[in-house]
A = this chain, B = another copy of it.
Amino acid sequence: MSETTVLAMAGCGIVGSAVALKLLNQREYYREKTGCDLELRYIFSRSFGKAQAAGIDDSYFLTDPGKILADPEVSIVIELMGGVDFAREFVVKALTAGKHVVTANKAMLALHGSELLALARTKGVTLSFEASCAGGIPIIRALQDGLVANQIDALYGIVNGTCNYILSSMSQKGQDYHTALAAAQAIGFAEADPTFDVAGIDSAHKLSILASLAFDCQADFASIPVTGIDTLDAMDVVFGKELGYVVKLLAVANRLPDGLSLRVRPTFIATGHPLAWVSGPFNAVSVYGDTVGHTMYYGRGAGGKPTASAVIADIISVASGVTPTRFNQKRARPDLTHPVVQLPLGRIRGRFYIRCMVIDIPGVFAALASALGRNGVSISSVLQKELPDADRSIDPVPIVITTHTVNEGDLERAIREIDELECTVQPSVCIEILDEFQESFS
């Protein structure tokens, strides 16, 4: 325990610089606090700009990762490069060389997690990834350790700070998507090319990791239905608010009798739910366990220092022997589990918000109601406003309908019929309304 653990890092951008600075400046603090003496020996990076700006000495830098793999004293490799193919290749080499790996790379894990975990086990080392989901929030540990006594019933996550910041602006300031995105870009909360975040891909990566752990299964990233926030109309944010809901990009997983539903999409949640007030760049994950009921974890889901907090927690867990001990637990890692039946959206049951854009001629509401009724969709509430400036005979008006619990497949059929009506001038919008999950306490 008082031996020195030698570390090498690959990738030194915002997160890498934060991790390196902490490791270098707080070495004595961590040793005193945990008994682990952590020596950062190498930093492999293709660009040293951020690290140099942060004041990290050039002597740590390598441009060839081979030295890391060849140094038998390096026991933990920290992968913070991002991207999939090169990172995967490097991690495979590091594990094969008998080195523990700590990574924040959700894309790599979503696509190749099971393979890499299995390789780690074969080589007698470990792969840790607390920083891959929800930044500094110790949610991986909660699922693997704190909630281990539970069968998880459901998980609702706000796991992308960029989207949450944009949606908070739309909701609180009444901005439209493009205005809110531009403002987020201006202060560095959104990338110049924000596609990965706003299209929901990043959230789906994280959901596949979280669901694998929560449900002891191999979730298939490619089968997760994903809708981003980039097509969300400000009008729906406003109407939702009037109905008592806040829109969030939610990553949802819940257990159904015949499989698991995983989905990422803009979702309405009642203002009384703990996730509803999670605003700005914060992340939060609600986990519903069969024993503990509802627990929720909140914090910063991105940023150099918050993410560094999770990376260093993983390093210390490996260095102290905790992770190597835990890593051998049966089923605690997805590679020892089985693929799961992931249900298509048509198979889930839920409540929905529907906005139809119709020409307001006599009989139009009857036509909508009939289409819904024919498909077994029962109406809970209707919101139709007079638009003073509109010409009713040519301008479309929004009719907002909320449903009782329906089968999403039935709803899809009803919407197809509505969208084919002559009075319908734009495709209807459907947004799931996620109710508080009923705690099971089984």
Residues of A whose CB lies within 8 Å of any CB of B are: 1, 22, 26, 29-30, 32-36, 130, 135-138, 141-142, 145-151, 216, 272, 274, 277-278, 282, 284, 289, 291-300, 303, 305-306, 308-313, 316-317, 320-322, 325-326, 328-332, 441
**19 A-B interface contacts by CB (under 8 A):** A1-B328, A1-B329, A32-B331, A33-B331, A35-B331, A138-B142, A138-B295, A142-B146, A145-B313, A145-B322, A147-B309, A149-B313, A291-B309, A293-B306, A294-B299, A295-B298, A296-B298, A320-B326, A325-B325
How many angstroms between the C-alpha atoms of A295 and B316 in the bound complex? 20
Query: Beyond the given A35-B331, A136-B289, A320-B329, could you list 20 further A-B residue pairs with CB under 8 A, ordered by the A residue number?
Result: A1-B328, A1-B330, A32-B331, A33-B148, A33-B332, A35-B328, A130-B146, A138-B147, A145-B145, A146-B313, A147-B309, A148-B316, A148-B317, A150-B309, A274-B278, A291-B312, A292-B299, A292-B309, A293-B300, A295-B297
Q: A138-B147, A145-B313 are in contact. Are A299 and B300 (CB under 8 A)?
A: no
Residue in B138, B146, B272, B330 whose beta carbon sits within 8 Å of that of A32 in the complex:
B330
Is A34 a contact partner of B329 (Cβ separation < 8 A)?
Answer: yes
Is B299 a contact partner of A299 (Cβ separation < 8 A)?
Answer: no
How many angstroms between the C-alpha atoms of A272 and B298 in the bound complex? 14
Q: Oligomeric state, in number of copies?
A: 2
Nearest residue in B to A316 (C-beta to C-beta)?
Answer: B148
Nearest residue in B to A149 (C-beta to C-beta)?
Answer: B312
Q: A146-B138, A146-B141, A331-B33 are in contact. Are A293 and B305 (CB under 8 A)?
A: yes
Is A292 a contact partner of B274 (Cβ separation < 8 A)?
Answer: no
Q: Which of A130, A299, A316, A329 has the most CB of B within 10 A?
A: A299
Q: Which of A282, A308, A312, A329 has the most CB of B within 10 A?
A: A329
Is A300 a contact partner of B294 (Cβ separation < 8 A)?
Answer: yes
How many angstroms between the C-alpha atoms of A300 and B309 in the bound complex? 26
Nearest residue in B to A320 (C-beta to C-beta)?
Answer: B329
Q: Which 6 A-B pairs have the closest CB atoms?
A: A138-B146, A295-B299, A149-B312, A136-B292, A292-B309, A296-B298
Residues of chain B with a CB closer than 8 A to A135's CB: 292
How many angstroms between the C-alpha atoms of A106 and B393 in the bound complex? 70
Is A149 a contact partner of B328 (Cβ separation < 8 A)?
Answer: no
How many angstroms between the C-alpha atoms of A297 and B287 in the bound complex? 11
Residue in B35, B297, B313, B332 whose beta carbon sits within 8 Å of that of A34 in the complex:
B332
Residues of chain B with a CB closer than 8 A to A325's CB: 320-322, 325
Residues of chain B with a CB closer than 8 A to A321's CB: 325
Is A291 a contact partner of B136 (Cβ separation < 8 A)?
Answer: yes
Is A291 a contact partner of B22 (Cβ separation < 8 A)?
Answer: yes
Q: A299-B294, A322-B322 are in contact. Are A317 and B33 (CB under 8 A)?
A: no
Nearest residue in B to A293 (C-beta to C-beta)?
Answer: B300
Is A308 a contact partner of B291 (Cβ separation < 8 A)?
Answer: yes
Residues of chain B with a CB closer than 8 A to A292's CB: 135-136, 299-300, 305-306, 309-310
